[in-house]
Amino acid sequence: MVGQRFRYSRWDGTQSGFDFDALDVLAELSDDLMYHGDPASALRRLMHDGFEDRDGREIEGLREILRKLREERQERLENYDLGGVYDEINSELNDLVDSERQSLDDRSALADIELADPDLADDRRRAAENAKATTAEKHMQLDMLPQDLAGKVRGLQNYEFESQEAQQRFDDLLDRLRQELVNQQFGQMADAMSNMSPEEMARMKDMMAELNRMLEQRANGEEPDFDDFMESYGDFFPNNPQTLDELLEDMARQMAAMQALLNSMTPEQRQQLMDLSNQLLEDMDLNFEVSRLGQNLQQMFPDAGWQQGYDFSGFDPLGLADASSMMRDLSDLDQLEQFLRQITSPQALAEADMDQVRRLLGDQSAASLERIAELTRMLEDQGLIQNKEGRLELTPRGLRRLGQQALGELFKRLSADKLGQHNIDVSGIGHERNYSTKPYEFGDPFNLNIERTVGNAIRRSGGGTPVQLTPDDFEIERTERQVRSSTVLMLDLSLSMPMRDNFLPAKKVAMALHSLITSQYPRDYLGIVTFAALARKLKASELPEVSWDYDYGTNMQHGFMLARQMLASEGGTKQIIMITDGEPTAHLLSDGRPQFSYPPTMETINQTMAEVMRCTKAGITINTFMLDPDSGLRGFVERLTSLNKGRAFYTNPETLGDYVLVDFIEHKRSIVRGR
């Protein structure tokens, strides 16, 4: 079989990297998972804060998207003014009235010319005089037009225009205003309502009446026949709603936006627009049904924003059409913000209208929400978390990966000289790596290190393809003899640990140590004991969810007792690694209850040291890692190490992992050297 051939090219910075995958997500969640042990809360934190993918692209979190929503709303309110709704209409009305006055003046001027002719026939003179009187009367009618918008429109509707051009402009203006009002009130129905004949308008009225009847049926506990309604009137709804609720929700949204426009106006502006709307819709014989529908929808959708209003403070005037569009945008921004604030899990974001998000906030925000919505599914598909009885939990694979990430993070922080200074004298053919290499010599196990071997060949040949290997290029991995050891990690979970920011680093070390032993030293034993007021044994699978104890006390005595019992049945060298930030302040009473005292009593110290003696007699070494130790802890640990002959390390949250990791590996190597 012929193998596949692949062609590689040099990275030039323009190529797109790999997609963000489930392991990247877990890495982003690792600190939260270790601190709280709850995948759901960790995912919520990631959802709110956002993150960067492996190509450095920002995935916006809800906090950033909500900030952009607020800015979008504020920008609209600070830039625009609703006074333009009337300025635009008034300006057009004034222009056509001026045009009409000009026609009247032209006709009056012609009549004056005719009347100046002494030979003008009587019938022509009477016609000219009538024209003069008519134009004067019409000038008076125009002078008497009301100043309010609705009154001016009503007056012009009853006026007989002299100018056909002015008449046409007025008719076109009314048609446009009706269309804009209908569009604001009914949204998707607006196109179907444009340019309707009287017969079609009557059918429209019947449709509205039927819709109101269906709403009243619903209020009475009956189920309306939506399919029959759509069969009769579906042509009014080009968006083809699938349910009555969908249709009504869209109409409620439109009508609530119209009400928000009214709420945002001054009382004078509001009254003018309401009068104009009532007048124009009354002309269409729809006013009653529209008012009835609005009342029904308010009862059905009380949270649609009927009371919402906006404080516009800008100078750019909005016309009626632009104002209607602006109110829909503001309503959409409000609803999107309300939706996002109620989200409690990433998967719920799948219900967001991404087209709307894209229209309001742009492609990046929409893409970010789409990526975040996939987080939970990605982790579940890769077997890293599972939904168990409605609760998200780490799977065994997720637990292993979390430990590997903690271990990798610690190894990354270790500088080369920290590991390099721990030289070993004994090498063997065991299968435990010691993370160093050597040139191949005849008789060595052929554990080839590919990276170093190919690197040697490239350095020797100066580059180019294909790479030619020679025996001098071979470099192999050193291995250590396998010697079994047994370790119990004692982890302080007293309240001082989180208070001093020591909890997360200590828990990371526990996860990393578990990963190191299970992956690199599978024959070794690792037990875990946590201690606060009381101590308890902990399974590795429980590590992610373990948290600190709110009961006061640092009961090392109980911890040493459990650790000694766990190691009693294990073979090999035995050690206890204790991570703590305080001296012992509690011990067990004869009835098994903890006795707490601070400062610690001599009874607590003596009981604890007695347990240290039992560990020492059992051949158990105690190595203590002290986080930000005070004088009391230092004094106690000095007595402990003097008695047990273990080691003491003074460290801090930043260097704790380095100390534990290096010491554990050095401990393994010292066992090899001592055999």
Give 413-445 pLDDT, tens digit per residue. Answer: 544 334 333 333 333 334 445 556 778 765 566
Q: What are phi and psi of 442, to 5 degrees?
A: -55, 130
What confidence score (pLDDT) does residue 479 get? 59
Query: Judging by DSSP bridges, how do beta strands 58-60 and 50-52 pair with one another?
Result: antiparallel
* 158 alpha carbon, distance to own chain's centre: 58
What confidence score (pLDDT) does residue 603 get? 92
Nearest to 285 by CA among 155, 173, 198: 198
Q: In this structure, are residues 82 and 323 in contact, taking their beta carbons and an 8 Å threshold?
A: yes
In a domain, 65, yes or no: yes
What confidence score (pLDDT) does residue 563 get? 93
501 and 381 in a common domain: no
* 494 alpha carbon, distance to own chain's centre: 34
What confidence score (pLDDT) does residue 653 get? 59
What confidence score (pLDDT) does residue 430 get? 40
What confidence score (pLDDT) does residue 416 get? 35
586 and 474 in a common domain: no
What confidence score (pLDDT) does residue 615 get? 92
pTM beyond cutoff 0.85: no
665 and 552 in a common domain: yes
660 and 610 in a common domain: yes
| Listed residues 480, 511, 534: the one ending a domain | 480
Nearest to 468 by CA among 477, 476, 458: 458
Q: In this structure, are residues 209 and 229 in contact, taking their beta carbons and an 8 Å threshold?
A: no
258 and 221 in a common domain: yes
In a domain, 279, yes or no: yes
Domain harbouring 504, CATH code: 3.40.50.410
Nearest to 480 by CA among 433, 517, 447: 433
The single-letter code of the amino acid at 201 is M
| Listed residues 424, 455, 480: the one ending a domain | 480
List the chain residues with pLDDT less than 50: 1-18, 190, 192, 414-432, 481, 672, 675
Query: Judging by DSSP bridges, how do beta strands 80-81 and 391-394 pair with one another?
Result: unpaired
In a domain, 214, yes or no: yes
Q: Which residue has the tokens 């007021």?
A: 533
In a domain, 148, yes or no: yes
What confidence score (pLDDT) does residue 14 get? 45
Q: What pairs with residue 361 in β-bridges?
A: none
Number of folded domains in the chain? 4
In a domain, 289, yes or no: yes
In a domain, 303, yes or no: yes
The single-letter code of the amino acid at 522 is P
247 and 143 in a common domain: yes
364 and 278 in a common domain: no
535 and 441 in a common domain: no
89 and 53 in a common domain: no
Give 13-45 pLDDT, tens digit per residue. Answer: 444 434 567 777 777 777 766 666 677 777 888
305 and 176 in a common domain: yes
Q: How many CB atoms neighbour CB 67 within 10 A?
A: 12
Q: How many CB atoms neighbour CB 10 within 10 A?
A: 5
Q: In this structure, are residues 309 and 263 in contact, taking their beta carbons and an 8 Å threshold?
A: yes
In a domain, 129, yes or no: yes
Tell me the C-alpha distance between 632 and 593, whole Å.
24
Domain of 59?
22-79+334-385
Kindly report whether the peptide bond that precedes residue 599 is cis, defined as omega within 30 degrees of 0. Answer: yes
Length of the chain: 675
Q: Which residue has the tokens 């323009």?
A: 14
What confidence score (pLDDT) does residue 468 get? 79
**Helix (H), strand (E) counts: the chain:** 26, 16
186 and 103 in a common domain: yes
Tell me the C-alpha distance between 314 and 316, whole Å.
6
In a domain, 422, yes or no: no
What confidence score (pLDDT) does residue 3 get? 43
459 and 569 in a common domain: no
| Listed residues 420, 451, 480: the one ending a domain | 480
Q: What are phi and psi of 457, to 5 degrees?
A: -65, -40
Q: What are phi and psi of 485, to 5 degrees?
A: -135, 160
